[in-house]
Amino acid sequence: IAGAGAQVGMTEAQIMALSAALSSVGLEADAGGTAISTVISKMSLAVAQGGEELEQFSAVAGVTGAEFKEIFEQDAAGAILAFIKGLARLNEEGGSAIRTLDDMGLSDIRVRDALLRASGASDVFAEALDIANTAWDENIALSKEAEQRYKTMESRLQLLKNSVAALGIAIYESTDEGLGSAVD
C-alpha cells in the first residue's frame, strides 16, 4: 500500500490506517495490500484519464466525475473511503457490489474480497482514517510546539553564551589593566 499510496499523495498515517483497517477485517497483509494497491492504481489512472472508468468510480461514491477527481486529487484516502462507503450503500439499497466490481474490472478474487470486506465494515475504515489523521495532526502540532520551544531554548542559550563571553572579556580587560599598572 505504501508505494501506491505515496504515488497518490497519501500520508504515512493514512497508509497505516488503511493497512490496520484491512487487518481488522481479517485480511492477510499481502492479500489486502495487493488488493488495495490495485484499487489505488486503477482509481488513479481513472482520475488521470477520465472517461467511463472515472464515471464508474464516481457513481459508486455517489458524486460526479469532476467531484470524484477533485476529492481524489486533494485526499486520495478520502476518495477510497467514499468508494468503499458507496459499495456498502449499493448493498444496502439492494444492488450488487459484486456485479458492480465485476463491471469495473475489479473482479480479481483478492481485490473483490478486500473491497467487499471493507464495504461491510466501512465504519471501521472511516474510524481508522479519522484516528490516523487526528494523530497525524496532533503529532505535527506537537512537533511544531517542540520546535518553537527549542528555538526559545536556543535563543536563551545564545544569550547566555554572549553574556559569558562579555563577562570573560570584562574580566580579561580588568585583569590586563591591573597587570599593566603593576608592571609600570
The tens-digit pLDDT sequence of the chain (184 residues) is 788 888 888 878 778 777 777 777 777 767 778 888 899 899 999 999 989 999 999 999 999 999 999 999 998 888 988 998 899 898 888 888 899 999 999 988 888 888 888 777 666 666 767 776 676 666 665 556 656 656 666 666 676 788 888 888 888 777 766 555 555 5
Cell reading at 90 = 449499493
Query: How many whole angstroms separate alpha carbon 9 and alpha carbon 77?
Result: 9
Return the DSSP state at 37: H
The answer to whether 10 touches 77, Cβ cutoff 8 Å, is yes
- Quick one: pLDDT at residue 164? 82
Angle between helices 12-24 and 122-183 (to 10 degrees): 140
Contact at 8 Å (CB) between 35 and 115?
yes
Whole-number pLDDT of residue 82: 92
Number of Cβ atoms within 10 Å of the Cβ of 59: 16
Place of cell 563577562: 167
Closest CA to 36 of 80, 70, 85: 80
Residues in the chain: 184
Residue-wise pLDDT tens digits, 17-59: 777 777 777 777 677 788 888 998 999 999 999 899 999 999 9
